[in-house]
């Protein structure tokens, strides 16, 4: 077992996930099979009940697991498919230990943090690190572990102790190793690069038994050589054990930055990669992956930028839409464009905002009208949804390229119900606080298998099939999927289009081109004759990769810059390389 632990100090949110993903990518380019685990010290069992404005996006895995957004980074960078067990939380660990205690598994012993909690953590890591995460079906060679928060946080203490114990254990086992990358922050104050925060962070780290094998210094600009030498001497590491991770034009250039500073060579020595058997086939694939990555990321954007308006309700914290942003970036790079994303608070589009905050109202509508394309992503609750409905109406009537995802599809359906089906008070059961059941004006209804009382893990989650319907051969969306009859994308919702109103919607020109395997649940719609007006119940952003972008997002970007026909032709010629086509596995 070979482990690369990425921990952090000084402050949280300094890019541990990107550095962990980049390290994994470099290992993969060397022909190694890599998996990843994210440790979140919070008591929640998973991220499903965490608000996006507090914790950012909830990333949905193929098995339906609701996880931390860093698992999205791992999948995007490494092209792997993780499970809910790849996200460890304090809630999960304590839940499993308490369940064992209730069954009597501990034979009357006093259950304590050490050894029972720490043992459970190590057992979890050891088990998950061996699970295949790619099409090879083989056990991974290396496990990247990211420890959330900062070392010294009271809630992460059991995990730190467990990882220290794991390091000692692996040191005694043959063909096993442990390498700790500690990410620290070097602030620039009055023109001076301050090393003291990093010195204290390493001191704190060593005091709990952790040993840094590499210090990754996050900073605004490249550090002076004297600063690097000072950190090395003050923290008892060699000069080449300190690397600089300064801000880049795009996070996808971080792997190249780390490679230039010799990270792969340090890892090769640190976890004894020369003793790992690598087939010529894997080595070739790793080299191909690296070349594709560099070509995509460094592609000159000769055609300028594409401006997309993201109309949402969580725009005060854009990490709430992280995967959506990344999917748009991937699609823009594919179209040789830079992405210019304009965040628009949907509440500012509503008539009440015109009276209360006219400046914000005018600015929001100016952004929407100026944009080349519009996307309305997912969300929960009624706040801001009237602005989304009005925006969907404007995009439909003004022939503006539009993509609605989950809630975005639902508000577009409500808009059609109101303005084309003469259901003037059409709404969603989710937005109707007085509703005790489905009403005639509910264009969107609660799913029968859902729960309104138990919120965690009760939605329709994970990879699900969408079957394109007979007669949908004209569909631009279907063509972007290479003309496939069936595709698989990930879901996260508890409300759906009212099946009793489908006939009325379709008479009004709304074509439900994709349905689930029963034919009763609406998965995708498209307006025929519109440049690009698509709604999806799924979240295709979760499967988008740097070198393999999501078809619906690619359609939005390509339509926005006027090259949709070219992109569709390309999709027809490369059917086997399209995300979501075929089986649920999306690596």
Would strands 402-405 and 460-468 be described as parallel, antiparallel, or unpaired? unpaired
pLDDT score for 306:
95
Q: pLDDT category, 299, cuts 50, 70, 90?
A: low
Give the residue numbers annotated as catalytic, written as ranges: 406, 539, 541
Sheet strands (E) in 93-208:
142-147, 177-185, 188-189, 192-193
- In sequence order, what E strands does 499-541 have? 510-515, 522-527, 533-536
d(CA 200, CA 220): 20
What is the mean pLDDT of the segment spanning 47-55? 87
Question: pLDDT at residue 252 above 70?
Answer: yes
Q: What is the pLDDT of residue 581?
A: 67
Q: What is the Cα–Cα distance from 526 to 256, expressed in whole angstroms?
A: 40
**562-565: long-range contacts at Cβ-Cβ below 8 A with a sequence spacing of 24 or more?**
563/335, 564/476, 564/531, 564/532
- Residue 584 binned pLDDT confidence (cut-offs 50, 70, 90): very low
- What mean pLDDT is predicted for residues 346-368? 95
- Residue 370 CA to residue 398 CA, distance in Å, equals 12
**Looking at residue 586, what is its pLDDT?**
39
| 427-428/442-446 β-pairing | parallel
User: Is a pLDDT exceeding 70 seen at residue 115?
Assistant: yes
Q: For the segment 406-454, what is each residue's pLDDT rounded down to a tens digit?
A: 999 999 999 999 999 999 899 999 998 776 667 888 999 998 776 766 7
φ and ψ of 338, to 5 deg: -90, 145
447: left (phi over 0), alpha (psi -120 to 50) or beta: beta
Residue for token pair 């409300």 = 495
State the pLDDT confidence band at 160, using cuts at 50, 70 and 90: very high
Least confident piece of the model among 11-25, 118-132, 220-234, 421-435: 421-435
* 108-120: average pLDDT: 95
Which of 56 and 536 is assigned the larger pLDDT? 536
pLDDT at 533 over 90: yes
Q: What is the mean pLDDT of residues 142-148?
A: 96
481 pLDDT exceeds 50? yes
Mean pLDDT across the stretch 335-352?
95
What's the pTM? 0.92
Q: pLDDT band for position 576 (50/70/90)?
A: low
Q: How far apart, in whole angstroms, are the C-alpha atoms of residue 290 and residue 26?
A: 8
**Is residue 140 scored above 50 in pLDDT?**
yes
pLDDT tops 80 at residue 570: yes
Tokens coding 27: 């290992």
Report the 3 state secondary structure along 47-115.
Answer: HHHCCHHHHCCCEECCCCCEECCHHHHHHHHHCCCCCHHHEEEHHHHHHHHHHHHHHCCCCCCCCCHHH
Confidence of residue 285 (pLDDT cuts 50, 70, 90): confident
pLDDT of residue 207: 94
Q: Give the residue-averaged pLDDT of 73-84.
A: 94
| 32 has a pLDDT exceeding 70 | yes
Q: What is the mean pLDDT of residues 297-319?
A: 87
Least confident window among 277-291, 504-518, 531-545? 277-291
- pLDDT classification of 10: cutoffs 50, 70, 90: confident
* Cα 380 from chain centroid (whole Å): 18
Mean pLDDT of the chain: 92
The residues pairing with 532 across neighbouring beta strands, listed in sequence order, are none
Counting residues of the chain whose pLDDT is more than 70, the rounded percentage is 96
**In this predicted structure, which of 24-33, 59-68, 128-137, 455-464 has the lowest mean pLDDT?**
455-464
**Average pLDDT rounded to a whole number, residues 226-236:** 95
Please tell me the predicted confidence (pLDDT) of residue 585. Answer: 42
Domains of the chain and any CATH numbers: 2-285 (3.40.50.300), 305-463+491-565 (3.40.50.880)
């Amino acid at each position: 077992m070979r482990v690369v632990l990425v921990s952090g100090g000084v402050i949280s949110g300094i890019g541990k996930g990107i550095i962990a993903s980049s390290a994994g990518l470099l290992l993969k380019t060397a022909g190694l099979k890599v998996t990843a685990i994210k440790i979140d010290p919070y008591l929640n069992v998973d991220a499903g009940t965490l608000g996006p404005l507090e914790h950012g996006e909830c990333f949905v895995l193929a098995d339906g697991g609701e996880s931390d957004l860093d698992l999205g980074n791992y999948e995007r960078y490494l092209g792997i498919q993780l499970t809910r067990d790849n996200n460890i939380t304090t809630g999960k660990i304590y839940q499993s230990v308490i369940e064992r205690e209730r069954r009597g598994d501990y034979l009357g012993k006093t259950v304590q943090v050490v050894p029972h909690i720490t043992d459970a953590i190590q057992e979890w890591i050891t088990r998950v690190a061996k699970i295949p995460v790619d099409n090879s079906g083989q056990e991974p060679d290396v496990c990247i572990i990211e420890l959330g928060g900062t070392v010294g946080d009271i809630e992460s203490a059991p995990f730190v102790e467990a990882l220290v114990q794991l390091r000692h254990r692996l040191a005694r086992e043959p063909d096993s190793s442990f390498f700790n990358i500690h990410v620290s922050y070097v602030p620039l104050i009055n023109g001076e690069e301050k090393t003291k925060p990093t010195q204290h962070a390493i001191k704190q780290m060593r005091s709990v038994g952790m040993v840094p094998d590499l210090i990754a210094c996050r900073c605004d600009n490249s550090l002076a050589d004297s600063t690097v030498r000072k950190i090395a001497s003050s923290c008892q590491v060699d000069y080449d054990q300190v690397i600089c991770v300064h801000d880049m034009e795009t996070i996808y250039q971080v792997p190249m930055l780390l490679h230039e500073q010799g990270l792969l060579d340090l890892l090769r020595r640190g976890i004894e990669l020369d003793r790992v058997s690598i087939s010529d086939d894997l080595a070739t694939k790793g080299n191909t992956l690296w070349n594709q990555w560099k070509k995509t990321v460094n592609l000159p954007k000769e055609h300028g930028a594409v401006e997309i308006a993201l109309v949402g309700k969580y725009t005060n914290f854009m990490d709430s839409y992280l995967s959506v942003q990344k999917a748009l970036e991937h699609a823009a790079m594919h179209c040789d464009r830079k992405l210019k994303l304009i965040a628009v608070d949907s509440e500012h589009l509503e008539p009440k905002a015109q009276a209360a905050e006219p400046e914000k109202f005018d600015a929001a509508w100016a952004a929407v009208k100026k944009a080349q394309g519009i996307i309305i992503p997912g969300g929960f609750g009624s706040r801001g949804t009237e602005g989304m409905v009005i925006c969907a109406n404007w995009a439909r009537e003004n022939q503006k390229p539009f993509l609605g995802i989950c809630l975005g599809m639902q508000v577009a359906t409500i808009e059609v119900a109101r303005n084309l089906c003469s259901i003037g008070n059409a709404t969603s059961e989710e937005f109707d606080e007085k509703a005790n059941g489905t009403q005639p004006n509910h264009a969107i209804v609660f799913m029968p298998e859902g729960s309104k009382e138990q919120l965690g893990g009760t939605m329709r989650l994970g990879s699900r099939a969408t079957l394109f319907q007979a007669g949908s051969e004209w569909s631009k969306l279907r063509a972007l999927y290479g003309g496939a009859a069936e595709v698989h994308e990930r879901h996260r919702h508890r409300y759906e289009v009212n099946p009793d109103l489908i006939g009325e919607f379709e008479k009004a020109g709304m074509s439900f081109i994709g349905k689930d395997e029963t034919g009763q649940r609406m998965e995708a719609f498209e307006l025929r004759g519109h440049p690009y007006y698509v709604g999806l119940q799924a979240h295709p952003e979760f499967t988008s990769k740097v070198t393999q972008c999501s078809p619906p997002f690619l359609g939005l970007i390509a339509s926005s810059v006027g090259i949709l026909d070219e992109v569709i032709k390309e999709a027809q010629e490369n059917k086997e390389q399209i995300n979501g086509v075929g089986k649920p596995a999306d690596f």
